[in-house]
A = this chain, B = another copy of it.
């Protein structure tokens, strides 16, 4: 499948690499079509990897991953012609974290409490099917859930389009080995508020347990 990955940071590179290794064609998108980090990634990757600007990557992908820094996400989203993502599943991995006031982090002004990046992205791209997912685990765990508790831990999914969420669930199970029973649907995209608001706790837990290679499992 052709997949666009917007973002050249650790999260974007980890997801893009995992996808190319599984045989998907991945175009990494950044502000400029010749971004050096993306070029470095293409060079060290297999021939399924390519690069382009945000619009190139968005139009290339049948599905699109958003792996942008929270503070720059809405600028990047605004730089993409909404037609390039219309009717596509957009897997939104972003978090509006604000580390500027020390630990624990908070969330960026205007993107906390009764708002979220997930909702703002859906508003900016009304014809896209935005699914918030993956934002509550370390990027290595996203693509290899077995790194934690033999793969037995929970992941949250939310979005307004039921069919899109179903596609994402199947994709996570088939591509990365997530257990279907551990994928918890929290409802519409406004539930992005609660999964984004969880991430400061994730950061505090990471400090307490001493590793980012952990997760949580919902138990009854």
Contact assessment for B218 and A216 in the assembled complex, using a CB-CB cutoff below 8 Å: yes
Does A186 lie at the interface of the complex (its beta carbon under 8 Å from any beta carbon of B)? yes
Q: Which residues of B contact A209 (CB under 8 A)?
A: 184, 218, 220
**A106 beta carbon closer than 8 Å to chain B:** yes
Stretch at the interface among A48-56, A147-155, A168-176: A147-155
Instruction: Give the docked Cα–Cα distance between A215 and B154 (Å).
Output: 12
Using C-beta atoms within 8 Å of the partner chain, give the interface range for chain A: 35 or more
- Residues of A participating in the B interface, judged by any CB pair closer than 8 Å: 101, 104, 106-107, 112-114, 148-149, 152-154, 156, 184-187, 190-191, 193-195, 197-198, 200-201, 203-205, 207-209, 211, 213-220
Closest B residue to A104 by beta carbon equals: B194
12 A-B pairs with C-beta separation under 8 A = A101-B114, A107-B113, A153-B219, A184-B209, A185-B208, A186-B201, A187-B207, A197-B197, A214-B219, A214-B220, A215-B218, A217-B217
